[in-house]
């Protein structure tokens, strides 16, 4: 996954290189999670574009496929959780980004039709032909998860979780946001892995994280600067 130390170091070096100012750790930490979230959201818009490319038969095949690459990146954030229901109502997971599917917890594991339109939900509930049953249940995704029929006690939800952070020393997931931790040595901020949190995005988003963070801070870096730096860093490792 993308190292917060490398991203911050690259951004700081590029800013200082052309005397565009100085990015402090505090300023960087304010925007690190926002930059990661922006790139995470971009995966979904890229996914829609990539599917159109495939439909137009202009998407490369196999490992070069843009559809495959986007789906592979998103799969890292795919998660399954159990939602307990009270009278058909359950709380959304705290780390929910987007719902993929909801299905029953019994042996049949029936998929629930997902509804986001309250008007459509009312129409279905009042219908004598399409009213939900235990065989054909439905779920309304709103401020909570509403499952019908209300006799269902729990469901599984497959969803994309919000991107958070990783512990640099172990790679374990943490609910903390990416941050550059440091200790002050001789008046300078020196990277400290013990109080840092790496990005959860894959390493190949390194250059994009540098660019996106720079944009948020208000620094107008040239892409050629960033990608040249990223290439140099990769070669040195």
pLDDT means over runs of 10, the chain (237 residues): 94 72 87 95 71 50 71 92 97 96 94 94 90 94 96 97 96 96 92 97 92 82 59 55
> How far is residue 17 CA from its own chain's centroid?
31
**Tokens 């250059």 belong to which residue?**
207
Interacting residues of 12 by C-beta distance below 8 A, sequence separation 6+? 22, 23, 28
pTM of the model: 0.82
pLDDT of residue 8: 95
pLDDT of residue 53: 44
pLDDT, residue 45, reads 82
Sequence-distant (≥ 6) Cβ neighbours of residue 13 within 8 angstroms? 229
pLDDT at position 49 is 47
**144 CB neighbour count, 10 Å cutoff:** 14
């Amino acid at each position: 996954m993308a190292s917060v130390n490398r991203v911050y170091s690259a951004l700081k070096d590029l800013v200082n290189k052309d005397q565009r100012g100085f990015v402090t750790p505090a300023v960087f930490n304010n925007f690190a999670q926002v930059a990661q979230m922006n790139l995470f959201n971009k995966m979904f818009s890229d996914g829609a574009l990539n599917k159109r490319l495939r439909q137009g038969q202009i998407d490369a095949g196999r490992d070069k496929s843009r559809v495959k690459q986007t789906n592979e990146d998103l799969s890292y954030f795919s998660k399954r959780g159990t939602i307990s229901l009270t009278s058909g109502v359950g709380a959304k997971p705290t780390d929910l980004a987007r719902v993929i599917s909801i299905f029953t917890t019994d042996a049949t594991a029936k998929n629930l039709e997902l509804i986001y339109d309250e008007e459509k939900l009312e129409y279905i509930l009042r219908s004598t032909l399409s009213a939900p049953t235990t065989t054909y249940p439905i779920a309304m995704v709103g401020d909570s998860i509403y499952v019908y029929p209300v006799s269902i006690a729990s469901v599984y939800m497959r969803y994309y979780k919000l991107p958070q952070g990783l512990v640099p020393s172990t790679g374990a997931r943490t609910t903390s946001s990416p941050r550059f931790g440091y200790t002050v040595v001789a008046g300078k901020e020196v990277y400290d892995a013990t109080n840092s949190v790496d990005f959860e995005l894959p390493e190949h988003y390194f250059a994009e994280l540098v660019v996106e963070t720079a944009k948020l801070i208000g620094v107008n870096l040239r892409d050629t600067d960033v990608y040249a730096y990223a290439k140099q860093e990769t070669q040195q490792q």
